[in-house]
């Protein structure tokens, strides 16, 4: 297989993919709503046989240096990534940005802003839960999170740890799922803002888990605004989804990415590598980024 990789830099020796190379481009660390530190996520991926990975924390690039260093030490290829939530009407679409330069000031400013807004929103959600008579404090959520990106998944864990719900799913069902009594919508980037940010940072934008979002009619619009890939391989996509999204990729000339959306023990049923990106699709992605 011909390798058409981007320029290596900073001493990184990219893994030359073969048909057998295992690639997982959707992983979360404790810098968003995952539970493991970036080095531990990378080691687990290595142990599972993976050679090419991306860290895609929500609204954060804080884990990128550690993940990259660990990949380098273990002889793996690291793709710096991020997952951004975009508001489209009442819907939320998730974009993955790959090949971003985490040092870009605009990216750091925007992620700080988003983290601040997440904190304000969490305060309001905790207040709403207290109003319902639940004994939960903002500090409980902070303690679970351990970093500045506060997610509803952290809140669900805090509610479970305090015995206020039997499991995380019940927290969403009863209180914090969309439209439930303690749900507070947070400010989301517009599609244009998110795509421009990813591009300005030297990255390429990919629509995450379309089978979860279930707004396939939006894909053409996303492509027009600059999305170049679709996350076809995803644990919750069945073979019908995969076949459908492969067709969508062919129609709009998109590359097909894949990843597990690993969150550590916060989503215990999702293992690293639960979905993989085909090496030939990875080679298409490489044409858009430089590592």
Residues found near Mn ion in the complex (CB under 5 A): 33, 83, 94, 208, 261
Of ligand AMP, Mn ion, none, which one sits near residue 169, judging by CB under 5 to 8 A according to partner kind? ligand AMP
Of all residues in the shown chain, the one whose CB is closest to Mn ion is 94
Does 172 bind ligand AMP (CB under 6 A)? Our answer is yes
Tell me how far, at minimum, the Cβ of 53 lies from Mn ion, in Å: 14
Stretch that binds ligand AMP, among 95-103, 147-155, 252-260, 276-284 (CB under 6 A): 147-155
Minimal distance, residue 8 CB to Mn ion, in Å: 27
Rounded to 5 degrees, φ, ψ at 182 are -105, 15
Residues between 42 and 71 with contacts to ligand AMP, criterion CB under 6 A: 58
Identify the three-state secondary structure at position 114.
Answer: helix
Q: If we measure between CA atoms, which residue out of 208, 199, 251 comes closest to residue 233?
A: 208
- Of 168 and 228, the one with the shorter C-beta distance to Mn ion is 168
Q: Which of 23, 84, 153, 249 binds ligand AMP (CB under 6 A)?
A: 153
**Closest CB to ligand AMP among 11 and 179?**
179
Nearest to 36 by CA among 15, 63, 69, 13: 63
Give the residue, chosen from 26, 168, 237, 276, that forms a contact with ligand AMP under the rule CB under 6 A: 168
Q: Where do the H-state alpha helices sit in the chain? A: 38-47, 64-74, 105-131, 138-145, 152-161, 168-171, 191-200, 210-213, 219-225, 239-252, 279-286
Full strand arrangement of the beta sheet holding 255-258: 22-27, 50-55, 77-88, 91-98, 204-207, 227-233, 255-258
Q: Is residue 132 a contact point for ligand AMP (CB under 6 A)?
A: no
With contact defined as beta carbons under 8 Å apart, do 168 and 157 qualify?
Answer: yes
Among 14, 21, 33, 86, binds ligand AMP (CB under 6 A): 33
# residues near ligand AMP by CB under 6 A: 9
CA distances for 16 relative to 4, 8, 75, 97, 196, angstroms: 9, 12, 11, 22, 30
The listed partner (ligand AMP, Mn ion, none) that binds 94, CB under 5 to 8 Å by sort, is Mn ion
Residue 234 contacts which entry, ligand AMP, Mn ion, none (Cβ below 5-8 A, type-dependent): none
What is the Rg, in whole angstroms, of the alpha carbon atoms belonging to the chain? 19
The vertex-261 CA angle with 214 and 148, nearest 5°, equals 105
Task: Find the shortest distance in angstroms from Cβ 278 to ligand AMP.
Answer: 24
Residue 95 near ligand AMP by CB under 6 A? no
- Does residue 110 belong to the site contacting ligand AMP (CB under 6 A)? no
Q: Which residues contact 147 (CB under 8 A, 6 or more apart)?
A: 30, 31, 32, 60, 62
Residues that bind ligand AMP (CB under 6 A): 33, 58, 151-153, 168-169, 172, 177
């Amino acid at each position: 297989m011909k390798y058409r990789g981007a320029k290596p830099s900073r001493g990184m020796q990219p893994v030359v993919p073969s048909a057998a190379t295992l690639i997982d481009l959707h992983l979360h660390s404790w810098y968003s709503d995952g539970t493991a530190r970036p080095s531990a996520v990378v080691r687990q991926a290595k142990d599972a046989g993976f050679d090419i990975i991306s860290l895609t924390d929500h609204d954060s690039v804080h884990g990128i240096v550690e993940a990259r260093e660990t990949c380098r030490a273990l002889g793996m290829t690291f793709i710096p990534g991020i997952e951004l939530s975009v508001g489209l009407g009442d819907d939320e679409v998730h974009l993955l940005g790959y090949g971003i330069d985490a040092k870009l000031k605009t990216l750091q400013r925007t992620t700080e802003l988003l983290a601040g807004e997440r904190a304000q929103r969490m305060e309001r959600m905790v207040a709403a839960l207290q109003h319902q008579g639940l004994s939960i404090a903002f500090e409980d959520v902070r303690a679970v999170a351990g970093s500045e990106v506060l997610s509803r998944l952290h809140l669900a864990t805090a509610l479970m740890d305090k015995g206020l719900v039997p499991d995380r799913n019940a927290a969403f069902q009863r209180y914090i799922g969309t439209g439930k009594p303690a749900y507070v919508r947070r400010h989301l980037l517009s599609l244009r803002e998110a795509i421009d940010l990813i591009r300005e940072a030297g990255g390429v934008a990919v629509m995450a888990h379309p089978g979860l979002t279930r707004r396939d009619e939006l894909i053409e619009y996303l492509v027009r605004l600059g999305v170049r890939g679709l996350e076809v391989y995803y644990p919750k996509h069945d073979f019908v989804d995969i076949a459908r999204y492969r067709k969508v990729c062919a129609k709009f000339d998109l590359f097909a990415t894949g990843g597990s959306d690993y969150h550590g023990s916060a989503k215990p049923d999702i293992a690293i590598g639960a979905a993989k990106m085909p090496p030939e699709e990875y080679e298409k992605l490489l044409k858009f980024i430089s590592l």
